[in-house]
A = this chain, B = another copy of it.
């Protein structure tokens, strides 16, 4: 039995197929050009596999996740030409005629972590996966189910307490100014320092400020969703920064709840986000297939 994964990022689409045990059997990268051209390549790829039972689709956002919305399955207002207000899920279903799940890129990676933990026999049934890069994204799983009835978590827009050495920076969020994303995203670091995050030494005190804010997001996620693990991904996270985040978590949280060893509790992803997204999508496809499968007589 074969399942498919389609992971649309804003530059490339990864298509893959795997078996019911989430082993990846094949994989291709398709450039994201016009929607017509890209969809055609995706459809052609999957036509190679006759026994395909279902496909898990994940996409860059913003996307419409509310199943009760007439725009469920759409990419809504992206700046990518030809992709705004595009019925991604409906178009794929028109051509491929198999059940499809639909979620965000971060949700699929979070689900991949969840599935991988089960496959490794170290089950993490509830987890928060937060990514820090150009923006801040999150996927949260509560006892095997996604959190977010009206869409996926938008933890990037929580309001942090400001670091005492960072009070003059106004933040760059067009809506809120100094929300989390307005303070810690790649463009926020550029706006504050005039430099790309890559060019800044790990000894620079900016990283303590960034860790202070990221730690607050891990605290809010801990208190509101009580997960077993928090996973931090994205380009501005590395082992040094992760450790700074753990230290700030310890200082700000002061052991209010026992979350266990912080080096276990707050971690980086177990695989690349791309691989996790495939694992997640394959499993979501399988779940979708079995939820729609009616036992025959």
Identical chains bound together, number: 2
A83-123 CB mask vs B (1 if < 8 Å, else 0) is 00000000000000000000000000000000000000000
Known: A142-B142, A175-B255, A255-B175. A224 touches B152 (CB 8 A): no
Stretch at the interface among A16-24, A41-49, A157-165: A157-165
- A4 interface hit (Cβ, 8 Å): no
A136-169 CB mask vs B (1 if < 8 Å, else 0) is 0010101101011111111111111110000000
- A291 interface hit (Cβ, 8 Å): no
Stretch at the interface among A5-13, A28-36, A215-223, A239-247: A215-223
Known: A175-B256, A176-B256. A125 touches B147 (CB 8 A): no
Say whether B226 contacts A257, CB under 8 Å: no
Q: How far is the CA of A226 from the CA of B146 in the complex (A)?
A: 11
Q: How far is the CA of A255 from the CA of B175 in the complex (A)?
A: 7
A245 CB, min distance to chain B CBs, angstroms: 14
| Total A residues in contact with B, Cβ cutoff 8 Å | 43
Q: Which of B138, B142, B148, B152 contacts A149 (CB 8 A)?
A: B142
- A79 interface hit (Cβ, 8 Å): no
Q: How far is the CA of A134 from the CA of B101 in the complex (A)?
A: 44
Known: A125-B149, A145-B143. A154 touches B256 (CB 8 A): yes
Say whether B161 contacts A159, CB under 8 Å: yes
- A286 interface hit (Cβ, 8 Å): no
- A56 interface hit (Cβ, 8 Å): no
A79 CB, min distance to chain B CBs, angstroms: 18
Say whether A149 contacts B143, CB under 8 Å: yes
A284 CB, min distance to chain B CBs, angstroms: 16
- A227 interface hit (Cβ, 8 Å): yes
A254 CB, min distance to chain B CBs, angstroms: 5
**Interface core residue of A159, A227, A259 (most chain B CB under 10 Å):** A159
Say whether A223 contacts B154, CB under 8 Å: yes
- A131 interface hit (Cβ, 8 Å): no
Partner-B contacts on A (CB < 8 A): 125-126, 138, 140, 142-143, 145, 147-162, 175-176, 179, 216, 219-221, 223-228, 252-257, 259
Known: A157-B223, A158-B224, A159-B160; 15 extra A-B contacts, CB below 8 A, are: A138-B224, A142-B147, A142-B148, A143-B145, A143-B149, A145-B145, A149-B225, A151-B226, A153-B224, A154-B223, A156-B223, A161-B161, A176-B253, A220-B220, A221-B224
